[in-house]
Amino acid sequence: MRTHYCGEVTEALLDQDVEICGWVHRRRDHGGVIFIDLRDREGLLQVVFDPDRDTAFATADRARPEWVLKIRGRVRYRPEGTENANLNSGKVEVLGHEIEVLNQAKTPPFQLDEDDVGEDVRLRHRYVDLRRPEMQQNLITRARVTGFMHRFLDQHGFLDIETPMLTRATPEGARDFLVPSRLHAGSFYALPQSPQLFKQLLMMSGLDRYYQIVRCFRDEDLRADRQPEFTQLDVETSFMDEDQITTLMEQMFRNLMREVAGVELPEPFPRMTYAEAVERYGIDRPDLRIPMELVTVGDLLADVDFKVFAAPAADPRGRVAAMRVPGGNALTRKQIDEYTEFVGRYGAKGLAYIKVNDPAAGAEGLQSPILKFLPESAITEILSRTGARAGDLIFFGADKAKVVNESLAALRVRVGHDLDLLEGDWAPLWVVDFPMFEYDEDDGRYYALHHPFTAPQTESVDELQTADPEALLSRAYDLVLNGTELGGGSIRIHRPDMQSAVFERLGIGAEEAREKFGFLLDALDYGTPPHGGIAFGLDRIVMMIAGAGSIRDVMAFPKTQTGACLLTNAPAEVEESALRDLHVRVRKPQKG
């Protein structure tokens, strides 16, 4: 029906006849001459109709926003001074000869160039929202990203293999979405949180290099970069160690950013151990663009007469840390109170601070309500360790190490953005040497930090069984960009004795392991190669490249923060007969 997209009509087609189709973006009547900006996914094109062509002019005069039109006309230069440098077609226009109305449209629920449309309205009318140029560009970017990933991995010998969507519920992770079985009364499938076990089975099957751009599902609380269903690039390979896997994936990501985003990333990416990341930044996914670090000062404060500092300093699971804010002396008391309220969301009971006027003058050059509790020697060493200068401010966190790390890590990001302290645009980082296990104080037990199929750095089953669980490290690795985890993976356990030992340390007995993972344990007995892999969050990658504020803006049909689809009104109740077929009875919560 058309010869060109609207955005493809440029001066290269001067004096040629073209046929174009699209939506009326806007219509303007200028003294008897009608202008229609026609829009499709490639851009806008100005079409001019004059009264000399009666039929076409009359039809153009009736056209309204979002009508679908087909137009035939001749390409010509725009009059001098009317060019639009923001459009690919901005130097030319089409003189309309014929026009056909393919479909009319009701007045849309919002104008496509409105900036203050509520997200609920946008999602309810997603078919209109997706017509906005920025939304179309986001999805075009997404297609370019997935296309590049396919080409790169195909060229490196990886096979695109599908894994099941209906599988078995798995422990040790987020909640599963369950699907009742009609043929197996009382039994349920689970939608996969990831293809983890299946991709390991593919390695055991000798397929050597696998990948899949796959839909995954997690029934968990949502936020800006999470959805109940999301997409990831899943990769697994045999006979490669962690350095080889991360090097290849780094090459893929560097080339992806160059081709799709026009960004040059450093080569190689810096690497940092988990322990160093948490010590210096309080988090295992630090944004290296922010020039602030956490410094442990608990050893200086264990004997002070200030229990807020002394108690956590003496606690083996406590921490007292300081963070220097360059130029932070200018912060007002109101701003500091707002930051105190902010860290309270992460469990912090308060936010101590010292304003640095003149570090050379010792306590006399400082300003803080806590100075009276600190000896001169401790103050001097704190200034030295933090590298404080005149005009800076030092924030303190004192509590359980988890609370201090989480609160100061979040504060670091908040202050870095508030004070415009970011250095550079892109900061990739590999985080390595993760702990094998983490202790949950609420449950009183250890959990796998990644998943229970991650290989430990030790090759000895005896060491795994007898060593302090908090001292054991895994062969895991995460790729972080600008403080966002884009992907994570590990070398997997390929020996049955080691896998059984890991299950034991996690409190998963032989009978439970056989019930839940019997097929995996059986497969490990039949010649499993060393293997490992990684999974990248596709939605997050596209979100960062597109500069979007939420992954909902780079997904065609996302859910809301409550997991609802406003477009289709899902989830919804179903008929009683359908529930009977599934052997399911609904028990609604009691009101009140």
Residues 401 and 332 in one domain: yes
What does the alpha-carbon distance between residue 203 and residue 432 come to, in Å, rounded to a whole number? 23
What does the alpha-carbon distance between residue 461 and residue 521 come to, in Å, rounded to a whole number? 16
539 is in an annotated binding site: yes
Contact 238, 203 (CB under 8 A): yes
Domain count, the chain: 4
**Encoded amino acid at 119, one letter:** E
| Diameter over CA atoms, the chain | 93
Residues 459 and 447 in one domain: yes
540 is in an annotated binding site: yes
Give all strands (DSSP E) within 393-538, no chain letters. 393-400, 428-432, 437-440, 445-448, 476-481, 484-491, 531-537
Cα-flanking dihedrals φ and ψ of residue 575, to 5°?
-65, 150
Residues 506 and 564 in one domain: no
219 is in an annotated binding site: yes
537 is in an annotated binding site: yes
What does the alpha-carbon distance between residue 72 and residue 92 come to, in Å, rounded to a whole number? 15
538 is in an annotated binding site: yes
Residues 297 and 406 in one domain: yes
Residues 521 and 450 in one domain: yes
Half-sphere exposure of 174 (CA within 13 A, CB side): 16
172 is in an annotated binding site: yes
CA dihedral 522, 527, 533, 538 (to 10 degrees): -50
Residue 273: give the domain boundaries.
122-289+531-570
What does the alpha-carbon distance between residue 13 and residue 363 come to, in Å, rounded to a whole number? 75
The enclosing domain of 342 has a CATH number of: 3.30.1360.30
Q: Which tokens hold the place of 545?
A: 């490249």
Residues 137 and 54 in one domain: no
Pairing relationship of beta strands 352-356 and 188-190 according to DSSP bridges: unpaired
Residue-by-residue pLDDT tens, the chain, 592 positions? 999 999 999 999 999 999 999 999 999 998 789 999 999 999 999 999 999 888 899 999 999 999 999 999 999 999 999 999 999 999 999 999 999 999 999 999 999 988 889 999 999 999 999 999 999 999 999 999 999 999 999 999 999 999 999 998 876 568 899 999 999 999 999 999 999 999 999 999 999 999 999 999 999 876 656 799 999 999 999 999 999 999 999 999 999 999 999 999 999 999 999 999 999 999 999 999 999 999 999 999 988 888 999 999 999 999 999 999 999 999 999 999 999 999 999 999 999 999 999 988 888 899 999 999 999 999 999 999 999 999 999 999 999 999 999 999 999 999 999 999 999 999 999 999 999 999 888 888 888 998 999 999 999 999 999 999 999 999 999 999 999 999 999 999 999 999 999 999 999 888 988 988 899 999 999 999 999 999 999 999 999 999 998 999 999 999 998 899 999 999 999 999 999 999 999 988 887 6
Residues 126 and 272 in one domain: yes
- Three-class secondary structure of residue 591 per DSSP: coil
Give the contacts of 311 (CB within 8 A, at least 6 positions apart): 318, 398
Residues 506 and 563 in one domain: no
pTM summary value: 0.92
Residues 140 and 278 in one domain: yes
- Three-class secondary structure of residue 260 per DSSP: helix
DSSP symbol at 111: -
Q: Helices H, strands E: what count in the chain?
A: 17, 22
Residues 134 and 253 in one domain: yes
Q: Where does residue 576 rank: exposed (0-12), middle (13-18), buried (19+ CB within 10 A)? A: exposed
220 is in an annotated binding site: yes
Residues 71 and 163 in one domain: no
Q: Which tokens hold the place of 384?
A: 């030295």
61 is in an annotated binding site: no
Q: Which tokens hold the place of 191?
A: 């939608």
Residues 251 and 327 in one domain: no
Contact 171, 587 (CB under 8 A): no
**Directed axis angle between helix 401-418 and helix 333-344, to 10°?**
140
**Residue 478, domain member (yes or no):** no
54 is in an annotated binding site: no
